[in-house]
Amino acid sequence: MYEYSIDNKNKKSLYDDLYNACEAITHGETDAVANMANVASLLWQYIPQLNWAGFYRIVDGALLLGPFQGKAACIHIPLDKGVCGAAASTGEPQCVEDVNQFAGHIACDAESVSELVAPIKSSNGNVIAVIDLDSPNKARFDEQDIDGIIRIAEMLGPRLSESA
């Protein structure tokens, strides 16, 4: 049984504790799917106001659905489509206040309004996956959310690529 103490009285403590939990649960594990599955669970459990949290991996030049929590989602996303494709192709995080205003947004769940996607890079800098968070609330994500998710994505990079 895993038990983590996550203090979500503010975003700094939430993301500090969440980072430590994600680091601890992936530490020493070499299977990428197992690591993504546990991290998706932690993100979903502790980050408030989400309706989807999970991963897409780059497989054969496109994004392929990975472990997640939330409603069943689109399986294949081309790199030139959607918020996830933008993060994967540019290597830059994408924070979208209102997905209805984002050209090319892919609606997996009509309830999603705002979205935060962070690229995950291998040790040699190639994007290998993305973390995708969706919220039913407009402008749900701010700089602290972006920084918190980037830190987790950076920690995960070597832990997903070495075993993928």
For residue 59, which of 128, 125, 132 has the smallest C-alpha distance? 128
Q: Considering the rule CB under 6 A, would residue 21 count as an interface residue with ligand SME?
A: no
Q: In sequence order, which residues have a C-beta less than 8 Å from that of residue 72 and are 6 or more positions away?
A: none
Please, which of residues 96-155 interact with ligand SME by CB under 6 A? 105-106, 108, 112, 115, 132, 134
Q: Considering the rule CB under 6 A, would residue 74 count as an interface residue with ligand SME?
A: yes
Place of tokens 């991290």: 39
- Closest residue to ligand SME, judged by C-beta, is 82
Pick one of 18, 77, 150, 156: the residue that binds ligand SME (CB under 6 A). Answer: 77
Q: In sequence order, which residues have a C-beta less than 8 Å from that of residue 14 and are 6 or more positions away?
A: 6, 7, 8, 46, 47, 148
Which residues contact ligand SME (rule: CB under 6 A)? 52, 73-74, 77, 82-85, 105-106, 108, 112, 115, 132, 134
